[in-house]
Amino acid sequence: MSERNTVPCKKLMEYNFYARKLMEYNFYARKLMAYNFMHGKLAVNRSRNFQMLKRKVLQYREVQAMKDFYVQRKMHWGEAAVGWNRPTESYFRQPLDHFNRQNNATYNQRYWVNEEHWKHPQGPVFLYIGGESSLSEFSVRAGEHVELAQSHGALLVALEHRYYGNSINKDGLTNEGIRFLSSQQALADLASFHRFISEKYSLTRNNTWICFGGSYPGSLSAWFRLKFPHLVFAAVASSAPVRAELDFVGYNKVVAESLSDPVVGGSPKCLDAVAESFRTVDQMLQAGNISQLEKDFCSCEALQGIEDYTEFVGNLADIFMGTVQYNGEISSRNIGSICETMTNASLGSSYRRLVTINQEYLQSMAQPCVQNSYQKTLEELRNTSLSLVGVGERQWIFQTCTEFGYYQTCEGGSCPFSRLLTLRSQLDLCLQLFGILAEHVQEAVLFTNEYYGADRPKASRVLFVNGDIDPWHALSVLHNQSHSELAIYINGTAHCANMGSSKPLDPPALKQAKEEIAHYIGEWLKAAKKQHLED
């Protein structure tokens, strides 16, 4: 860190020394518990702040799933379960390229099975689909789909996505090796997995398959039903951005609407303060007041040119974008708390309140400063060594470049953040990392929508579930498309809110949505049984 930044951030660094020690203690305590009792693996935008928040959310979900496990069984923390067989973690061999049988290369794909609730031999099969991060056994141990499995006597299976977690070859992240990462290959993996599980457990057509997924796996869930209707009878697609979009201006439009929504603790005054604070930051960048920004926002290093400036404002925007997307998942990070700070006149100008927001974020993440170096980001993303836990950042960026776009920009009038967050700045990463030109990214997005049908997929027995606070709902299906292609839109909820285990304090709208989902699952299973009898 540069010398001029050391003094202003000294108190923050002292705080974070102790915060890091506490986090280290909690991390290893949780890791030890997971190893001793469940063998679980704690899952540890381009900008660093969003990725840190996403990793923290994944960790929180793992811990919460562990707690839910003990609560459901009325057990004390760490107590060994009696008469219960832990879900099995296994691997099976998959073709690396399903569409070229002359390519004999393979990889080992990880999966989990939980037979605890299965009414053998004719109970249904509930498939949990993995996405852009590693999976753990909690994928078949906790969550809405597990509660539904308990009700319907289902066999629970979960498949980790190719190229994420442990489901990757050693050379998988090289530019040559990563080319077999795509949603089409992932769907073919699911079809192959269906055959594998059916043979392993002697399943027949009487064993009805229903698949579940959230976010990108939510799209995969809908697409699996769309492309393989003979394999899976129905699908639940939560927070599924099924419409690919190069310039995803709608993301920050929803963020702005959420920051001004009183239902979740926002207000128009909060949104105005956020927008004003970022205008001040942009003005200071244009005026060359770089050293003041470095000092006020605890930049780890001096900002060197426009690419670092873009990284800097991206990290600031991430605090708000991530808070909205995961609103309420972590108690200390929600729209209400962030708006309370941004509307607190006693803190000074809107700019000073933004400084406070950044400091609070760094404290919550136990970080002494913000890494705003574009070159360091490139170095990290060019690293092809494997990380078998957490979010696969290089892999996901590759998929955005070759299939989806999803670039969250701020060039429109409704965006409250910096105008440096341009489409060009994000497309440059595709070229820098993978040699993919901007026009090829656009072509890939158009193909994805042609291939899957965008937000008019014309599938049947697919239930799309979205929350109005979640920015990704802008790319999903929000209204019933037919009598069997249905949508549930939940007021006041964020990304994948319906997928967690039921809680007494769930808001009424969420409880009602879960009841509707359970109703449709029950109806689908009745329809499948009737169909089997007629056949």
| Residues involved in catalysis | 215, 470, 495
Q: Interhelix angle for 306-325 vs 335-342, to 10°?
A: 120
Q: Which amino acid is at 308?
A: D
Q: C-alpha angle with apex 139: 137 to 141, nearest 5 degrees? A: 70
Q: Which amino acid is at 60?
A: Y
Encoded tokens for 297: 């926002």
Bridge partner residues of 93 (DSSP): 108
Encoded tokens for 107: 């990889």
- The answer to whether 183 and 220 are in contact (CB under 8 A) is yes
φ/ψ region of 406 (left if φ > 0, alpha if ψ in -120 to 50, else beta) reads: left
Q: Interhelix angle for 335-342 vs 268-287, to 10°?
A: 60
Q: Which of 255, 423, 456 is nearest to 338 (CA)?
A: 255
Q: Which of 125, 67, 114, 127 is nearest to 86 (CA)?
A: 114
Encoded tokens for 357: 């927001």
Q: 109: part of which helix (H) or strand (E)? A: strand 106-114
Backbone phi, then psi, for 87, in 5-degree steps? -55, 145
Rounded CA gap, 288 and 64, in Å? 46
Bridge partner residues of 235 (DSSP): 211, 462
Encoded tokens for 327: 């609103």
